[in-house]
């Protein structure tokens, strides 16, 4: 196994410096919040019955996280649409936020066009491209940012732009104190998980070593359900590793029955349980009961708890921890965490077939 305490391995494998994006996460959150406070928002945007995020991949995950975060506060529903077409219930009382790093995501452009035709209240988040052109032509609220990275590494922008906008429209309350706490905890986390911190004191490096050469399963519940999905996609894209996610308590009604066969699979699998003190007591009891099932079938697992008082601080700190773990697993796998060659090849094939 590659020695994660050898700083030379990061120069060898992290050719596009993904570590800089991880270490810069707290400051990017601060910058994105500040920029989002400056967006011009029509007063009519506050008078809506639902919020919908349009996006794919790394540009959509912020919407997933926020929809869970505000579930017990917002009086209107928030959903994420990853399709070319809009659901039939979208109308002119819907607030649509089209999010695409490149500005050329075809599913997002298609759905935004339909939303504009319906008369929905629309906003764009992008670095440019066709989406920015549409926003400028239609005089839509526009959040732009100039940051050279893979879309999954720009989560602070897509997350904070949406979160701040919801606050300004009165859909959620004042989150300034939560933002301050979150950035402080994120800064502490970057110091603790940096490549210069040895394995013996680095939680992310330790977890990556456990996950090396394993099929990874991430279990979450309530506030950690969407975070589990983010971990899954980061293991896929950063680590180039098999990974899947599940949620309590649904997994207790089906998944646990499937632990029996093939029996030898348990030797190559590792389950991570993402836990929070904000999760309800009945669900936390299911965590304990499920771990006893793991013991019965010799399934290896780890429980990861979260720091922070606010739900926001807990959510983003756990997101960032997962990013670090997937980064170190990429190094152990001997791959550059940044490129996504399989996705690029797939897009090329799709364009070729369309041509």
Write the burial class of residue 63 (CB in 10 Å: 0-12 exposed, 13-18 middle, 19+ buried): buried
> What is the C-alpha R_g of the chain?
21
CA dihedral of 205, 208, 212, 218, whole degrees rounded to 10:
170
CB atoms near residue 128 (< 10 Å): 15
161 token code pair: 């732009």
Give the Cα separation of 112 and 108 in Å (integer): 6
In 221-341, beta strands by DSSP E:
243-247, 269-274, 300-304
The label of the residue with tokens 């440019």 reads: 128
Angstrom distance (rounded) from CA 274 to CA 73: 22
Q: How far apart are CA 70 and CA 63, in angstroms?
A: 11
Which conformational region is residue 338 in: left (phi greater than 0), alpha (psi within -120 to 50 degrees), or beta?
A: alpha
Distance between CA atoms of residues 172 and 180, nearest Å: 17
Active site residues: 237, 253, 347
Backbone angles phi and psi of 34, in degrees to 5: -60, -45
Reduced to 3 states, what is the DSSP secondary structure of residue 1?
A: coil
Kind of pairing between the strands at 300-304 and 78-81: unpaired
CB 256 within 8 A of CB 345: no
């Amino acid at each position: 196994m590659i020695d994660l305490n050898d700083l030379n391995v990061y120069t060898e494998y992290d050719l596009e410096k993904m570590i800089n994006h991880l270490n810069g996460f707290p400051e990017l959150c601060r910058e994105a919040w500040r920029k989002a406070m400056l967006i011009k928002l029509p007063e009519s945007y506050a008078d809506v019955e639902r919020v919908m995020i349009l996006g794919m991949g790394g540009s959509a995950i912020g919407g997933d996280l926020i929809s869970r975060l505000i579930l017990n506060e917002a009086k209107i529903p928030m959903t994420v649409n990853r399709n070319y077409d809009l659901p039939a219930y979208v109308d002119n009382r819907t607030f649509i936020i089209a999010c695409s790093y490149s500005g050329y995501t075809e599913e997002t452009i298609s759905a935004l066009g339909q939303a504009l035709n319906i008369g929905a209240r629309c906003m764009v988040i992008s670095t440019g491209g066709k989406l920015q052109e549409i926003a400028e032509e239609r005089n839509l609220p526009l959040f732009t940012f100039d940051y050279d990275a893979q879309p999954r590494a720009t989560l602070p922008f897509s997350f904070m732009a949406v979160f701040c906008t919801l606050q300004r429209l009165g859909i959620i309350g004042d989150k300034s104190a939560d933002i301050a706490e979150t950035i402080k905890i994120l800064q502490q986390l970057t110091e603790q998980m940096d490549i210069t911190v040895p394995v013996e004191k680095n939680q992310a490096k330790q977890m990556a070593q456990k996950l090396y050469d394993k099929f990874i399963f991430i279990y979450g519940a309530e506030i950690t359900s969407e975070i589990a999905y983010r971990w899954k996609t980061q293991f896929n894209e950063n680590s180039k590793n098999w990974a899947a996610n599940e949620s309590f308590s649904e997994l207790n009604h089906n998944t646990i029955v499937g632990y029996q066969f093939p029996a030898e699979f348990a030797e190559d699998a590792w389950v991570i349980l993402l836990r929070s003190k904000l999760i309800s007591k009945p669900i936390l009891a299911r965590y304990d009961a499920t771990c006893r099932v793991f013991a019965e079938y010799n399934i290896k697992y780890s429980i990861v708890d979260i720091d922070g008082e606010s739900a926001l601080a807990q959510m983003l700190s756990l997101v960032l921890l997962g990013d670090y773990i997937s980064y170190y697993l990429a190094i152990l796998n001997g791959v550059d965490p940044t490129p996504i060659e399989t996705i690029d090849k797939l897009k090329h094939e799709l364009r070729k077939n369309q041509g």
